[in-house]
Amino acid sequence: MLIVDLNRENYEYDVHALVKSFFPEEQVTVLTPESREDRREELSRAARIRINVSGREAVLAIDGREYRLEVEEGVRAQERLKEGFKKFLYQVLSKETGKELPWGNLTGIRPTKIAYGFLEEGRSREEIIRHYQEKHFVSTGKAALSVDIAARERELLSRLHRGGYSEAGYSRGYSEAGYSRGFGEAGYSLYVGIPFCPTTCLYCSFTSFPIGGYRKIVDAYIDCLIREMDLVAGQYAGRTLDCVYIGGGTPTTLEAEQLDRLITALKDRFDFSTVQEFTVEAGRADSITPEKLQVLYRQKVTRISVNPQTMKQETLDIIGRNASVKQVEEAYALARQTGFDNINMDLILGLPGELEADVQRTIDRVVELAPDSLTVHSLAVKRASRLNRWIQENRAVMLHNTDETMEIAARGAARLGMVPYYLYRQKNMSGNLENVGYAREGKLGLYNILIMEEVQTVMALGAGSITKLVLPDGRIERRENVKDVKLYLEKLEEMLERKRELFALECSLERDSL
């Protein structure tokens, strides 16, 4: 364990993220004044890194070697200290370890947001790349990737209906039956969560429940989804629905009849004539059948996923993903035969025991299959996943991801005629790298971008889902549904009330703007 003794709570996230990036093999613990009193003194004595922030200076000591950051007196001194601290911490850790991180001192999940904002201001590509390099120590390659992706995001998001409040559209206040809204051409998107999976993979921390133990309550779960649909459809009548995304979990753990019932209920309540993209994550090959694919095709789903994660059978066995390489290939071929012309594949780099040669073999096989889009994830070790325990037992040296493995994937995507179109990062990602979505032109996933950039309201239904209401001033109001499936069934009325509160807030803001 690598212990950091820090005297300021509001610096904790950046400290943990950067220290963990430089010392990925260590379990990093950051002590603050709020840490557990019963162990704080004991752990503090073992701290290798000590950070004291006070007044106009920050003092950082690593194994007794001391470094100091000081800002000039005057207005905004505290603010300038906070702004300079991440740069200071990165430079010290880089000097101590001899490492440079591909994403420099950036710790947020959306590094492209910087480029997106600058492009909106009319900045040039060269200016933006220079900003990434000089202020954040980002490598030239990652900076250029961010700018290129941000440019594609802007073009794709311009197709969304965003709209705004207008006096002409407003007619009455909030009611259970809905209200006419002053949004002009305002739009929204819809997420439907199916939290069941065939099994839970070693690395997974998402809300998912093995279907074997929940099969008897799936119909009751769909009943609850339909009640959420009724509420949202009533309140958003007259607004434009841009994207529908059924995710999970693994939606295709539902039986064909249940999938048909779910999608039919959606189409009965929402106007799909405006929907630009309708995605269902088929995901696990061991849940895909001809009957289920026929339902999705007949219901005019425009985009599906068949996700191998790796084409190395030994790795699939380790991570508990029961679908074999052969099953993945058969499911993919079946989807093509059914008529789907927009199929995504997900891969994870940095899985236990995999090296560059393994990634190359996976990419070569994926290129032969020729999906329409490819999402390349860097393994993120989540605290709630079984992988976290596995690492403690087998040591993190078994996890390997590098710029070279990411480049192998990028070259494979290029061979398929794909371009990178969205990017995000997560905490504790192997190699301090990123997740990148690649796609052929015309097959770029609109929902993937809008959920990252948070520029449009997404109404989310189902256990563990999070609704994001985007307000006119850019603020985002979130409402979460409980994660546990059985608790969701029991507390559905409470989940509905949370959405009613959002609708009431939205209506009051609209009224105030008139």
142-151 pLDDT, tens digit per residue, is 999 999 999 9
User: Could you tell me which residues are beta bridge partners of residue 305?
Assistant: 344
Do residues 3 and 46 touch, judged by C-beta distance below 8 A? yes
What is the structure's pLDDT at 252?
96
What is the structure's pLDDT at 172?
29
What amino acid occupies position 170? Y
Token pair in block for residue 163: 């709209």
What is the model's pTM? 0.88
Task: Tell me the angle at which helices 446-453 and 140-157 cross, rounded to the nearest 10 degrees.
Answer: 110
Classify 68 as helix, strand or coil.
strand
How far are the Cα atoms of 73, 218, 431, 480, 484 from residue 495, in angstroms, in the given order? 50, 18, 38, 8, 12
**Per-position DSSP letters for 354-419, written without gaps between them:** --HHHHHHHHHHHHHH--SEEEEEEPB--TTSHHHHHHHHH-GGG----HHHHHHHHHHHHHTTEE
Rounded to an integer, what distance in angstroms lies between the CA atom of residue 463 and that of residue 194? 8
Rounded to an integer, what distance in angstroms lies between the CA atom of residue 413 and that of residue 26? 33
Residue 72, C-beta contacts closer than 8 angstroms, at least 6 positions apart:
56
With a cut of 70, which residues of the chain have pLDDT below it?
36-38, 162-185, 200-208, 381-399, 428, 430-431, 513-514
The per-residue pLDDT for range 99-112, each reduced to its tens digit, is 999 999 998 889 99
Rounded to an integer, what distance in angstroms lies between the CA atom of residue 480 and that of residue 487? 13
Classify 475 as helix, strand or coil.
coil
Report which of 279, 177, 299, 164 is spatially closest to residue 236, judged by C-alpha positions.
177
What is the structure's pLDDT at 174?
32
Classify 117 as helix, strand or coil.
helix
How far are the Cα atoms of 32, 64, 89, 330, 353 from residue 22, in angstroms, in the given order? 20, 18, 11, 41, 21
Do residues 265 and 229 touch, judged by C-beta distance below 8 A? yes
How far are the Cα atoms of 96, 365, 506 from residue 315, in angstroms, in the given order? 35, 15, 48
How far are the Cα atoms of 54, 162, 356, 439 from residue 158, in angstroms, in the given order? 45, 9, 38, 18
Residue 137, C-beta contacts closer than 8 angstroms, at least 6 positions apart:
87, 90, 91, 94, 100, 101, 104, 105
What is the structure's pLDDT at 350?
87
How far are the Cα atoms of 2, 67, 75, 144, 388 from residue 16, in angstroms, in the given order? 10, 18, 29, 27, 17
Rounded to an integer, what distance in angstroms lies between the CA atom of residue 43 and that of residue 60? 18
Token pair in block for residue 411: 């070259």
What is the structure's pLDDT at 491?
97
Do residues 241 and 187 touch, judged by C-beta distance below 8 A? yes
User: Could you tell me which residues are beta bridge partners of residue 65?
Assistant: 62
In degrees and rounded to multiples of 5, residue 245 shows phi and psi of -130, 120
What is the structure's pLDDT at 510?
74
Pairing of strands 466-470, 476-480: antiparallel
What is the structure's pLDDT at 182?
42
Within its chain, how far is the Cα of 177 from the centroid?
34
What is the structure's pLDDT at 473?
78
What is the structure's pLDDT at 304?
97
Rounded to an integer, what distance in angstroms lies between the CA atom of residue 11 and that of residue 514? 41
Strand-by-strand arrangement of the 240-248 sheet? 418-424, 435-440, 373-378, 343-349, 303-306, 277-283, 240-248, 187-194, 458-461, 466-470, 476-480
Residue 267, C-beta contacts closer than 8 angstroms, at least 6 positions apart:
299
What is the structure's pLDDT at 34?
80
